[in-house]
Structure 1
Amino acid sequence: MTNSSKGKQEIKRGPITVALIIGAFVAILNETLLNIALSDLINYFNVTPTTVQWLTTGYLLVIGILMPVTALLTGWFTTRQMFLGAMTIFLVGTVLCGFAPNFSFLLAGRVIQAAGSGLILPVMMNTILFIYPPEKRGGAMGLIGLVIMFAPALGPTLSGLIIASLSWRWLFYLVIPLAVFSILFASRFLTNVSEVTKPKVDVFSVVLSTLGFGGLVYGMGSGAEGGWLSLVFLIVGVISLVLFVWRQLVIANPILDFRAFKYPMFTLATIIMILVMVTLFATMILLPLYLQQALLLSSFAAGIVLLPGGLINGMLSPVMGKLFDKFGPRRLVTPGLLIMCVVIWLFSRLTVAETMLYIIILYAALLIGMSMVMMPVSTTGLNQLPKRMYPHGTAIMNTLQQVAGGIGTALFIGIMVSGQQAYLSQSANPKAPSQMLQALVAGMNHAFIVALAVGVVSLLLSLFLKRTIAPDEEG
């Protein structure tokens, strides 16, 4: 028996996995808790919608900047240092948000929160790759999928309940004990599993990464509201990204090792994940708008409509992980994407007269398909990488998914607005409330048709997926 295999057997996987999941749940839950409270914050702090939106844009911006450097950080710090440090930073940000005397303090706390939560997911995925062999990773990654889908699904509904009976500050007060418990639990059970190599830090690469991914996320997140400034950030972001990729390929110790794309299943899985994330974000941004503006539901009612799908997805993720270990990716991913495509096609035919039950069923079906796709695809891609590439593979996937989310949001909102304008331009009475409502739904239908095209491409690509084993784990 080799030392590495012996060490892997001696590691107590259960407590480590639970410690990671608790921290990830707390961090991811926080991402959607604030969305429904934005209107309350506008009134409380007397700020404009454009200003309050920075609570979301700033959060995404920090995560977009941090994701690419996580591979570098995991080389400099132990598993415990990374996770406990990230959760402590997150806790500090949460306390600052809860007791913020003004909007500036709230925004600062939100940015600090993002700095912590942006590190937690990569640490969790890296650790799972290190402590579980390929044939058992599906089940473990399924548990991660439970957290990733269940927490944001619970967020809007929980937020609606809290806002209805308490002040917005309780959105942060209630997270504080959960974060403290996560830190205490991880201090007791989390052990170091990764190797500290202290790679050389290329400062120029860090600068290019920050300008590239930060500029892209900000430019996409600001959209048309940002005007010429958004365009400047997009141009700077694209140029910086091109230079960043070039530099990573020519230096000895890259921050993100793009040589991971030499492995075909990793490349294929990453492309599918990007396309799926674009499609998912289209639904996540368009459906709440449809529920609140077309069906005229309250924020809390809209959250209730979306909750069953999120709960079903969360419960199915571990099951799909086990099925992945048994059957491999293709038998899950291709049927899952087919289900998603059918549902998105039905979304493209929505009218102003749909029932809540119909939307609940469609959304639940969409997330059932999603549970068959997300973790099996990412696990398939990461399984082909050698161990030294795990931090780079997870960082690349997480970063590109973040960028894909920003692109998807901006793209589909733009398509929706264009569809609205096209409908109203042909209307005899474009200012009539009924016509404006019909225009909104027509614009959403256009956006979902484009989302369907993206989904079909990912469906076709899934036919080429196959089970993989990393080169240094063969034999």
Structure 2
Amino acid sequence: MSDVLQERPARSGGRTPTVVRLLVLATFVVILNETIMINAIPRLMESLHVTEQSAQWVSTAFMLTMAAVIPTTGWFLQRVTTRQAYALAMGAFIVGTIVSAVAPTFAVLLIGRIIQAGGTAVMLPLLITTLMTVVPEEDRGQVMGNVMLAISVAPALGPTVSGLILQVGSWRLLFVVVLPIAALVTVFGLRKMINIGEPVISSIDWFSVVLAALGFGGFVYGLSLFGEAKSGLGIGFVVAGLAITAVFVFRQLKLQRTDSPLLDLRTLKVGTFRIALGLTAVGFLAMLSAMVLLPLYLQNLRGLSPLQTGFLVMPGGLAMGLLGPTIGRLFDRFGARPLVIPGAIGMVVALAGFTQISATMPYWQILGLHVLLMLSLAAMFTPVFTLGMGDVPAHLYSHGSSILGALQQVAGAFGTALVITILTTRVTSLTAEGVAIADAQLSGMRIAFIVATVIALFTIILALRLPNRPTTSSEGEVSAPVH
């Protein structure tokens, strides 16, 4: 077909191709939506007459859908054209946004959020797969840095944007504001979008789809129950999820013999990609630890409003995003190790600083530690994503990006469950001994940050094992499938 790009373009001096710019813009919109509901829980409780536990499902359902859908995107992105994937993903997101905006009941709102999440789950793997296909290896760092700018700034702006919108209207405005932006991005994108490569005709193994949904979804849901009165039930879901995921893995290994897996695990044969996954997992755990604990600390113990909290943590997210293009250029010039090793050390230092959190810690110190954490993560993520995916064989890009996306969801859920469990366990223990609730919460937060710091130490070890440049050719070490 005439609008299909079949060959990688010549070096562009780090300029971001139009197709990647369009996907970045769309991804920014859908990721912004992921965090925009954080401040809306009290309004939902009042408007739809639900409990706080029920209202939290607007986030939980979104997270579960992402965890269940992302493992299928490797197959999906090989099966359809770039334009079709973009249209289906943004179309689902728009439909979900409309349903959520007009939802008469909480159940309908949940359905809308699930539809939104289905579209969101496709966008980041589509973006990464397209970037790796159309951008020459020598320019990928800078272009990936531009991508990181968008996907880092979006979640940082989410709570602040929602706080501002909720000052002037109801929670429905959060969807009403996003809807025309998403529609314009979709229409403009479809007018300019080109197809990258040819789709591969293959059948889908529905048993694998069910296993992925139950395995990944059950595991993430179980983690979300930790720290509540249902921790025992959470352990059950986690164990069941891991067991089903194991069956899913064996199923994929069997299907790989006929080159028809839902998620091709041959990407895990690439050593650099495995190290990148480890660094990504711990990095997301560290980021989620701060994202969960800092708002609790600032609002419950320091008395700040959600909007004030959003403004305090926003500079870290903005700094992380704005540094992305610079980090990308440095990676293209010097390689990964000069960036990732200092980034890993900086992350450990920042988390160690948060272990000294107190009821009187100056706000400038909290701000400084958070900015240091975000800048350190920026120094890690852009090189790690680029280097890890760069060593994956080209025909497995979509599967590599799917595994990376699924790992982010699992690491985020695990990080949240870990710190919340530590916090609630410590608070319960100390309050039973007669310790004031505020002092008990501070103690729990310190211990949670100590555990996160210890885990983060492993990133330094992994960073030291990371090669400076891709170690395989674009064809990689894994044989291409035969179709």
TM-score, normalised to structure 1, is 0.94
Give distance in 2, aligned partners of 1:379 and 1:261.
16
User: Is 1:213 the equivalent of 2:216?
Assistant: yes
The answer to whether the aligner puts 1:386 opposite 2:393 as a matched pair is yes
Aligned residue in 2 for 1:66: 69
Which residue of 1 is the match for residue 354 of structure 2? 347
Shift of 1:425: 4.6
Classify the secondary structure of the residue corresponding to 1:127.
helix
Superposed counterparts of 1:12-51, under 5 Å: 14-51=17-54
Aligned to 1:241: 245
**Contact 1:127 1:194 (8 Å CA) reproduced:** no
Please name the residue that 1:424 is paired with.
Answer: 431
Q: Deviations over 1:9-31 (max 9, x none)?
A: 49995321221011001100001
Alignment of 1:285-434 (within 5 A): 285-426=292-433, 429-430=434-435
Matched residue type, 1:392: H
Structure with the larger helix share: 1
**Partner in structure 1 of residue 479 of structure 2:** none
- For residues 290 and 6 of structure 2, the distance between their equivalents in structure 1, rounded to whole angstroms, comes to 43
Residues 13 and 131 of structure 1 are in contact (CA less than 8 Å); yes or no, is this contact kept in structure 2? no
Q: What TM-score results when the alignment is normalised by the length of structure 2?
A: 0.93
Aligned partners of 1:134 and 1:469 also within 8 Å: no
Structure 1 distance, partners of 2:413, 2:427, is 21
How far apart, CA to CA, are the structure 2 residues paired with 1:5 and 1:23? Answer: 23
Identify the match of residue 97 of structure 1 among 88, 93, 100.
100
Partner of 2:176: 173
Pair 436,227 (structure 1): closer, same or farther in 2 beyond 3 Å: closer
Deviation of 1:195 (Å):
2.5
What per-residue deviation string (whole Å, max 9, x for no partner) do you get for residues 188-217 of structure 1? 111110321122312221121111101111
Deviation at 1:229, TM superposition (A): 4.0
Provide Cα deviations, 1:89-139, integer angstroms capped at 9, x if missing partner. Answer: 101111111111221221111111111111111111100011011111111
Partner residue, 1:152: 155
Instruction: Quote the Cα distance in structure 1 between the aligned partners of 2:85 and 2:418.
Output: 34
Amino acid at match of 2:369: L
Structure 1 residue 109 and structure 2 residue 116: aligned?
no
Counterpart of 2:481? Answer: none
Distance change (3 Å), C-alpha of 1:191 and 1:13: farther
- Letter of the structure 1 residue corresponding to residue 43 of structure 2: D
Alpha-carbon distance between aligned partners in 1 of 2:8 and 2:234, rounded to the nearest angstrom: 50
Structure 2 partner of 1:471? 473
Moved over 6 A (4+): none
Instruction: Give 1:234 shift.
Output: 2.0
Q: Which residue of 1 aligns with 2:282?
A: 275
Distance 2:340 2:236 in 1: 38
| Identical-pair percentage | 37
Residue 49 (structure 1) shift: 0.9
Q: Counterpart of 1:444?
A: 445
Paired position in structure 2 for 1:142: 145
Deviates more, 1:217-226 or 1:404-413: 217-226
In 2, the alpha carbon distance for the partners of 1:243 and 1:340 equals 35
- AA aligned to 1:69 is T
Say which SS state the counterpart of residue 199 (structure 1) adopts. Answer: coil
In the alignment, the residues of structure 2 paired with residue 423 and residue 339 of structure 1 have an alpha-carbon distance, to the nearest angstrom, of 32
Shift of 1:50: 1.1
Change (3 A) 1:63 1:18: same
Gaps of 5+ in 2: 477-483
Find the aligned partners of 1:270 and 1:339 in 2 and give their Cα distance.
19
Aligned partners of 2:353, 2:284: CA distance in 1, in Å?
A: 19
Question: Could you report, residue by residue, the CA deviation over 1:223-253 in whole angstroms, capped at 9, with x for unpaired residues?
Answer: 2344554333223211111111111112221
